[in-house]
Amino acid sequence: MSVPLLIQTSINKSRGETAGQVKKFRLSGKFLMRKAFVAGNWKMNTDSQGSVSLADGVACGSMDIAGRSVDVAVIPPFVYLQAVVRALNQSHIAVGAQDMYYEEKGAFTGEISTSMLKDAGCIYVLCGHSERRHVIGESDELVNKKVTAAISGGLLPIFCVGEKLEEREASQTNEVVTRQVKRGLAGLDVEKVSAVTIAYEPVWAIGTGRTATPQQAQEVHAMIRKLLGQMYDAQLAEELRILYGGSAKPGNAAELMREQDIDGLLVGGASLNADDFVAIIKAAV
Ligand code: PGA
């Protein structure tokens, strides 16, 4: 069993899931499971008080299921990480960071390392979110360095990929996503890649209210899973969780989650309201 799964087990401190609460797959005569995972990316929102009350609201509303039948994470801005970690201390909700730098320490003004994030209580870190790629200008190579450093430092990366509208319209979705996955995971062996959660987030669906249809999302998720099978092996491809992100909300979460290869949701806007985020968590079970 790889280290990342042990980390996840310790977050969940688990009580067994029921058959209906996890997706099951038969592979080589063996059942493998992918537990649902819902993460809320708060982006550059909230303040010190608001971040704690949002965390409290999510913890309260999801108390019965978080960590049991669904893994839950919140991803606040850096400056509120420790306050949110404290607020969630008694819960089974993990905390993640929105970004990190790949160097361990030194003269990198403004950057934050994996050890600092771990010290602050983070379990997850987003790598290659589309706003980092397209607003800040991060390349596939930089994202790869971050994913690699996150894993070496003991964090679980949520590695984001997704095509822009013009790329979808030019039928380049598979090509773009394949390139991002291959370059983003370059140099990582199967053991290391098992620490990764992939998030497919079509750029045209992020913050636009325009969600990919469940079929559109499923097609890309299945393509990514097949690619993982080619890059690594069938077991890794079946085990790795692939989240969908892009205008996920209470009204569409259940139908997205019904798709075979959609294992969870990375939620932006709707994660800023505790009731909406809790409704999404419940829809994922
Ligand atoms: P959204 O953001 O849910 O507001 O579209 C998703 C994301 O950027 O992760």
Q: DSSP characters for 158-172?
A: EEEE---HHHHHTT-
155 CB under 6 A from ligand 1?
Answer: no
Torsion of CA 275, 214, 4, 42, to 10 degrees: -40
67 CB under 6 A from ligand 1?
Answer: no
128 CB under 6 A from ligand 1?
Answer: no
Specify whether 129 is catalytic. Answer: yes
113 CB under 6 A from ligand 1?
Answer: no
Q: Can you give the residue ranges of every domain in the chain? A: 35-103+110-275
CA of 129 to the centre of ligand 1 (A): 10
- Of residues 119, 219, 120, the one with CA closest to residue 177: 219
Tokens coding 39: 């993460």
Ligand 1 atom closest to the Cα of residue 248 is: 3
- Please give the pLDDT value at position 32: 55
Amino acid code (one letter) for 67: G
- Please give the pLDDT value at position 209: 81
CA of 207 to the centre of ligand 1 (A): 5
| Cα separations in angstroms, 118 against 85, 147, 150 | 11, 15, 10
Split the chain (285 residues) into runs of 10 and give each run's mean pLDDT: 38 37 44 86 98 98 94 98 97 98 98 98 98 97 98 98 95 98 98 98 90 95 98 96 96 96 98 98 96
CA–CA distance, 4 with 112 (Å, rounded to integer): 21
250 CB under 6 A from ligand 1?
Answer: no
**Using an 8 Å Cβ cutoff, are 246 and 206 in contact?**
yes
Ligand 1 atom closest to the Cα of residue 126 is: 9
What are the E-state strand segments in the chain? Answer: 22-27, 30-41, 70-75, 93-97, 124-127, 156-161, 197-200, 242-245, 264-267
Query: What does DSSP say about strands 30-41 and 264-267: parallel, antiparallel, or unpaired?
Result: parallel
Nearest CA to ligand 1 atom 6: 268
Identify the CATH homologous superfamily for domain 35-103+110-275.
Answer: Aldolase class I (3.20.20.70)
Specify whether 201 is catalytic. Answer: yes
CA–CA distance, 265 with 140 (Å, rounded to integer): 22
- Please give the pLDDT value at position 208: 85
253 CB under 6 A from ligand 1?
Answer: no
- Please give the pLDDT value at position 187: 98
**CA-angle at 17, arms to 12 and 21, nearest 5°:** 115
- Please give the pLDDT value at position 233: 96
